[in-house]
Amino acid sequence: MTDSQPVDLAHLTHTLRDDNIVGVTIGWVDNNGVVRSRTVPTAELAAAARRGVGITSVFAVFDSHDGITFAHGGLATPSGDVRLIPVIDTTSSVVPLAGQPGLAWAHGRQVSADGSAWPYDQRAVLERQVRRAADAGFEVRAGFEIECALTRESDGLPAHRGPAYSANAMRDVDEFVVQLLRDLSRNGLGIGQIHAEYGGSQLEIALSPLDPLAAADAQVLARQTIHAAARARGLRSSFAPLPSSSNAGNGWHLHTSLVRDGHNALTGDGEHGLSETGRSYIAGLVRELPGLVAVTAPSSGSLLRRRPGYWAGAFGFWGVENREAAVRLVPATPLLGSEHTNVELKACDASANPYLALAVTIAAGLSGVADAAPLPRPVQEDVGGWDDARREAAGISPLATTHDQQRENLLSSALVADVLGSDLLGAFVACRDADAAWAAGHTEDELLESLRWIY
């Protein structure tokens, strides 16, 4: 939503047709982190923008295996339809896809059949938190880092052979990297860098910081762009939190910072270059971690990724540039400048809905700011090497690794309940329960295989 002039849909349609765009894919993300979509012919775009296209209301209770759970009271039958509307705030909201010639992309919002707000629309949840941040005097900057494991489509072998972070590994995927850099840029997506990560055949792409809605949109479009470039080069990209039990996980780390009066509000004269706002923002994140990560790393795969020693945020603590911490402060330095301060949430992955993940993260940080939450001491070590007694003495607990623990944390978080609202929370929990029931009937390898390609 913007205050600017509404987009001239007839003119936009002509422009798209002139660019040989025959269809527009309207994408949205469900409660499992799966991108669902409808594609309309370009001639139907204006009608879709006004009235939406019909989709079943039970998309809110689809689980990670395309099962539908009817355990949530609000959506307990197959009856009901809602409208999926492409978000067209500006003429560049509809993006001709560099890697899929003839098609364009638009991000979708879901509204009730009568056009009123639908409580299960994840995008609206983030819009609400952005407004709350603005009411508190802040703009939020956010950016996701995308890790993925690339394999060859033909034989399933690794697309690169390492070593980690090496130019030699990158050489194995040269053509893909060139195409990807070109397509990301043509699709309007900025990145900081791309590199070979430490996991087998793993790559990381760090998206540039943006406002929260744009950052979530960029994360969704980046997946589409990566999948398309991989396909064009005979590769396949797994975004799953844990592509296989013998490999490192794929983290989709979420970096956030606050801006007030045009300047980074986390930066200050205090310890670690933090302001009081910065201290309490981190404190809020750390305090809310158990409930928070049930939304930012919610799936059965997320629970398996959460292992000590993998820089995946297995324990609930923070540190300064400590990559084993669930919350990592990236401080300003004289070299980087005072605008650089940001906070990385490691416990975040592709199975999170990015709109919900950002909404709960912003809410957690700002809850800390609102009540000037006290900041615990940072920990610079790998607490996985400590014994339980030492961790307990330091007030550090492992984050959940079972469905039951995570469910309890989700349901006992007042913050998550407030951010999601009772309808969406009910549907979200029902999805998690359905996933857990599926996992209980399968081996770990079957589970990882079932999630490997869905994100």
What Rg value do the Cα atoms of the chain yield, rounded? 21
Nearer to ligand GLU, 7 or 294 (CB): 294
Distance CA 159, CA 53 (A): 39
| Given 249, 316, 319, 354, the residue binding ligand GLU (CB under 6 A) | 249
- The binder of 273, among ligand GLU, Mg ion, none, by C-beta within 5 to 8 A per type, is none
> 283-310: buried (b, 16+ CB within 10 Å) or exposed (e) per residue?
bbbbbbbbbbbbbbbbbbbbbbbbeeeb
Which range of residues in 223-231, 285-293, 307-315, 355-363 is near ligand GLU by CB under 6 A? 307-315
Work out how close the CB of 343 gets to Mg ion at its nearest, in angstroms, rounded to a whole number: 16
3-state SS assignment for residue 127? helix
Q: From residue 185 to residue 204, what is the string marking binding to Mg ion with x (rule CB under 5 A)?
A: -------------------x
144 binding ligand GLU? (CB under 6 A)? no
Which range of residues in 118-126, 303-311, 355-363, 385-393 is near ligand GLU by CB under 6 A? 303-311
Work out how close the CB of 360 gets to ligand GLU at its nearest, in angstroms, rounded to a whole number: 18
Beta strands in 241-373 (DSSP E): 254-260, 263-264, 315-320, 325-330, 342-345
Work out how close the CB of 333 gets to ligand GLU at its nearest, in angstroms, rounded to a whole number: 19
Which range of residues in 10-18, 97-105, 286-294, 306-314 is near ligand GLU by CB under 6 A? 306-314
121 binding Mg ion? (CB under 5 A)? no
In terms of Cα–Cα distance, which of 91, 111, 100, 108 is closest to 37?
A: 108
> 404-439: buried (b, 16+ CB within 10 Å) or exposed (e) per residue?
eebbebbeebebbeebbeebbbbbbbbbbbbbbebb
Residue type, 129: Q
Distance CA 104, CA 39 (A): 9
**In which residue are the tokens 């790998």 written?**
382
β-bridge pairing 191-196 and 139-152: unpaired
**Contact call for residues 33 and 351 (beta carbons, < 8 A):** yes
How far is CA 71 from its chain centroid?
25
Work out how close the CB of 311 gets to Mg ion at its nearest, in angstroms, rounded to a whole number: 7
Q: Angle at which helices 444-451 and 422-440 pack, to 10 degrees? A: 130
40 binding ligand GLU? (CB under 6 A)? no
- The binder of 227, among Mg ion, ligand GLU, none, by C-beta within 5 to 8 A per type, is none
Determine the residue with CB nearest Mg ion.
204
Work out how close the CB of 150 gets to ligand GLU at its nearest, in angstroms, rounded to a whole number: 14
| Residue numbers 339-358 binding ligand GLU by CB under 6 A | 346
Work out how close the CB of 210 gets to ligand GLU at its nearest, in angstroms, rounded to a whole number: 20
186 binding ligand GLU? (CB under 6 A)? no
Nearer to Mg ion, 165 or 453 (CB): 165
Half-sphere exposure of 55 (CA within 13 A, CB side): 29
| Residue numbers 204-243 binding Mg ion by CB under 5 A | 204
3-state SS assignment for residue 260? strand
243 binding ligand GLU? (CB under 6 A)? no
Helices (H) and strands (E) in the chain, counts: 14, 15
305 binding ligand GLU? (CB under 6 A)? yes
Work out how close the CB of 150 gets to Mg ion at its nearest, in angstroms, rounded to a whole number: 14
Q: From residue 96 to residue 135, what is the string marking binding to ligand GLU with x (rule CB under 6 A)?
A: ----------------------------------------
Distance CA 175, CA 230 (A): 10
Distance CA 53, CA 376 (A): 49
Work out how close the CB of 447 gets to ligand GLU at its nearest, in angstroms, rounded to a whole number: 17
Residues that bind ligand GLU (rule: CB under 6 A) add up to a total of 11
- The binder of 310, among Mg ion, ligand GLU, none, by C-beta within 5 to 8 A per type, is ligand GLU
Work out how close the CB of 5 gets to Mg ion at its nearest, in angstroms, rounded to a whole number: 41
Which range of residues in 88-96, 133-141, 248-256, 272-280 is near ligand GLU by CB under 6 A? 248-256
In sequence order, which ranges of 69-206 are alpha helices (DSSP H)?
Answer: 122-135, 167-171, 174-186
248 binding ligand GLU? (CB under 6 A)? yes
Residues found near ligand GLU in the complex (CB under 6 A) = 147, 199, 248-249, 251, 305, 310-312, 323, 346
- State the residues that interact with Mg ion by CB under 5 A: 204
